[in-house]
Amino acid sequence: MKALVTVTHPRQDSLTHQVMQRFVEGLKKNNHEVDLLDLHHDGFNPVYTLEDERDWLNPSKVHTPEVRKEMNRILAADTLIFVFPLWQYSVPSMLKGYLDKVWNLGLFGKADGKKVLWICLTGGDQEHMSKYKREETLTHYLNVILAGYARMKESRVELLTDTLSESNQHIEGLLERAYQLGYEYA
């Protein structure tokens, strides 16, 4: 299986990047091929421009080379995985810009058989996420609104909570969970 793993965090020494690395290690241990997109490090421009918006209803639209390149990466992958922190109870602006520009009508009918996994790191613990319906809202947004719009075959959210914990044991547990997610992913 070929996996396109997209990570979103400006610091490469972040827990988000560590989680992505462990997830990728698990994928590779199970002989999956990985295409890694680091939106910040690779210099993706998230600004939605007039050119991106022009003629957006046309599924045959000619996209900019940057957008076309990313669309081709999606089409070449069997599965899509996004690793990102929860900021303001949503995806970071860099990831939102990527989704706005790349998940467009030009993919409709071409990415239907793909599945997507959203690995979201949240500073809040599970109780907080549940109490205020943050998990329910986020899951609906990612699985129904975004993945549904893109007509993905399957979409699943995996929350890694309490990422601000000072417990080394808890953080190691999150990294082990990321590895297991990658290793068991099929």
User: Any idea how long the chain is?
Assistant: 186
User: Which sequence spans correspond to the domains of the chain?
Assistant: 2-184
CATH class of 2-184: alpha beta
Tell me: pLDDT of 170 over 90: yes
- Residues 148-168: tens digit of each pLDDT: 988 899 999 999 999 999 999
Q: How many CB atoms lie within 10 A of CB 123?
A: 14
Q: How far apart are CA 163 and CA 104, in angstroms?
A: 32
The mean pLDDT value of the chain amounts to 94
Tell me: pLDDT of 102 over 90: yes
Cβ pair 36, 57 in contact under 8 A = no
Paired strand residues for 90: 87
pLDDT recorded at residue 165: 94
Q: How many CB atoms lie within 10 A of CB 19?
A: 28
Q: Helix 65-76 to helix 93-102 angle, to the nearest 10 degrees?
A: 90
- Residues 22-80: tens digit of each pLDDT: 999 999 999 999 999 999 999 999 999 999 998 888 888 999 999 999 999 999 999 99
